Structure 1
Amino acid sequence: MTINCKGQLINLSIPKIMGILNVTPNSFFDGGKYNLENEILARVEKMLAEGATFIDIGAYSSKPSAEFVSEKEEIERIVPVVQLILKNFPEALLSIDTFRSEVAKACIENGAALINDIAAGNLDDKMFEVIAKYNVPYIMMHMRGTPQTMQSMTHYDDIIKEMLFYFSEKINKARSLGINDLIIDPGFGFAKTLEQNFEVMQKMELFQMLELPLLVGISRKSMIYKVLNSNPEEALNGTTFLNTIALTKGASILRVHDVKEAVECVQLWNKMNV
């Protein structure tokens, strides 16, 4: 199972790590930490050295009840970061965490390799057109509503069945436009209760019937620290545990704040599956 990133074939049969770089002032875990150029470059250098295949850059916090950021401000935040990173690390594969087609377009034109859309096109009907035009890999996440409303939209009759239907529709639309490289993300924490998050994790192998790579992003999320009565800063051990479970259930990409620990999970998982 491979994806084409700027002419480079990435083999996802061996799971890969996506390191998180938030350039927002209000991210739930690392908001505001990486705003100066030297801090951004040091963070990226560290993640790449520790084994990240992708760097995922976000300039709009998608935490529950996140404040609205205009499209113009999002572009002004993120494009200079893309340019800065690629100037210093030209081989880096940058993923752009956005649900806006104009942000995606601007970043791709400045060298980004793939798009990570929490809304799978639901919040911008031009997103699929942009992905098709530029022919970049597209991560489609499951979510209802918006970051501001999603936690009020958690009623499902059968969450797995409804998610599979959601992804099937998205895949059909993408294929009709000639989009080849698709990745699905169950969207842990997005329009899901704590119990629903764990149900999705328990049954995650069912998404393999879609025959697409699976990205899992549970790094330091509330589904971990609420169970453990702790906080995001103390949730690394829980993250490592659930990342390991995700690998056993078919995860192809782990999206994480802590690259070294996730890489070690993959190394040990690979040893168990030689």
Structure 2
Amino acid sequence: MDALPTTKQPEADGWPQGWRQRTTVMGVINITPDSFSDGGRFLASDRALAEAQRQLNSGADVLDLGAQSTRPGAEEVGEEEELRRLLPALKAIRERCPDALISVDTFLAPVAARALEAGASWINDVSGGRRDPDLLRVVADARCPVVLMHSRGNSQSMDQLTNYSDVVADVKGALVERSEAAINAGVQESQIIWDPGLGFAKTHEQNLQLLRDLEQLTRGPRPVLIGPSRKRFIGAVLDEPRPKARLWGTAAVACRCAQAGAAVLRVHDVGPISQTLRMAAALW
């Protein structure tokens, strides 16, 4: 058995150490057969555990486990299948990495509840509580950090929902609305993390505009998470159709996010992006 990874001890409020002074790293582990860049690689719990240990040793501050693909066109598998995929990996990682911060990427309240019972530390909801409002109550009861992401529609419809009068202002306004819904459900202000949802109901240019004007979000009252890793807008800029070949474009976005004061960057390539952010921190 491999040695236990060196993990970063979380702060009392459920955040990794030093997050207020630097952009921290969330490593992506997709426990799915159909995610856009690594579907099927970590579907087996032993492979998910090995990847978790590798990411923690490479600099991940938080691990984000997802058992429902949210790529454009993905089919929803439902609560039972999502839990069947998720729980073995989550329990294995929690047992072997007891101090790791583990986020679970789900928009279903029953999945969030079972994940928290099994040792999850955060909930990351791509719908911001739209799809299943009970998820906000689950998070409120657990008093854990929750990522409220901006999106429209679902995986089947989001690419047709890209009309905005001002994408930055509209996204910020929608995040304020979702935050108010969360607070009304009992979620504390200190639990809420914003995610503008790059790639979700946005065109390539709209994604770039959100990054250019990122300070309009990061200078607000809540920490901001950005998930640019390997996404289509990077491929469009670089003329690179292969998701895994978009590392350097992702690294450029990481520098911009560090410059703008983003709190968390959600990425697949933890080692290279951790180094990129360390260098960016020295510059900004």
Taking structure 1 as the reference length, what is the TM-score of the superposition?
A: 0.95
Q: Distance in 2 between matches of 1:37 and 1:69?
A: 18
2:50 counterpart SS class: helix
Q: Which residue of 1 aligns with 2:266?
A: 255
Q: Distance in 1 between matches of 2:177 and 2:84?
A: 33
Report the alpha carbon displacement of residue 19 of structure 1 after superposing the two structures with TM: 0.4
Contact persistence 1:4–1:10 (CA under 8 A): no
Residue equivalent to 2:249: 238
**Which of 4, 12, 20 is matched with 2:19 structurally?**
12
Cα offsets for 1:187-243 (capped at 9, x unmatched): 000000111111111111101343111101100011111221212021011110111
User: Residues 75, 198 of structure 1: CA spacing in aligned structure 2 closer, same or farther, 3 A cutoff?
Assistant: same
Secondary structure in structure 2 of the residue aligned to 1:183:
strand
Q: In 2, distance between residues paired with 1:178 and 1:233?
A: 37
What is aligned with 2:89? 81
Cα displacement (A) at 1:10? 4.2
Deviation at 1:9, TM superposition (A): 6.2
Unaligned ranges ≥5, structure 1: none
Indicate whether 1:224 and 2:231 are aligned: no
**Equivalences for 1:91-106 in 2 at 5 Å?**
91-106=99-114
Distance 1:22 1:3, change over 3 A: farther
In 2, distance between residues paired with 1:11 and 1:169? 29
Q: Is this contact kept in 2: 1:17–1:254, CA < 8 A? A: yes
Give the Cα separation in 2 of the matches to 1:175 and 1:36. Answer: 37
Q: TM-score, normalised by structure 2?
A: 0.91
Dislocated runs of 4+, deviation >4 Å:
none
Partner residue, 2:170: 162
After superposition, the CA RMSD in angstroms is 1.4
- What stretches of structure 2 of length at least 5 have no aligned partner? 1-10
Alignment of 1:49-88 (within 5 A): 49-88=57-96
Q: Which stretch of the first structure deviates more once superposed, 13-22 or 178-187? A: 178-187
The residue aligned with 1:134 is 142
Share of identical aligned residues, percent? Answer: 35
**Counterparts in 2 of 1:272 and 1:139: CA distance versus 1, 3 Å:** same
**Secondary structure class of the residue paired with 2:91:** helix
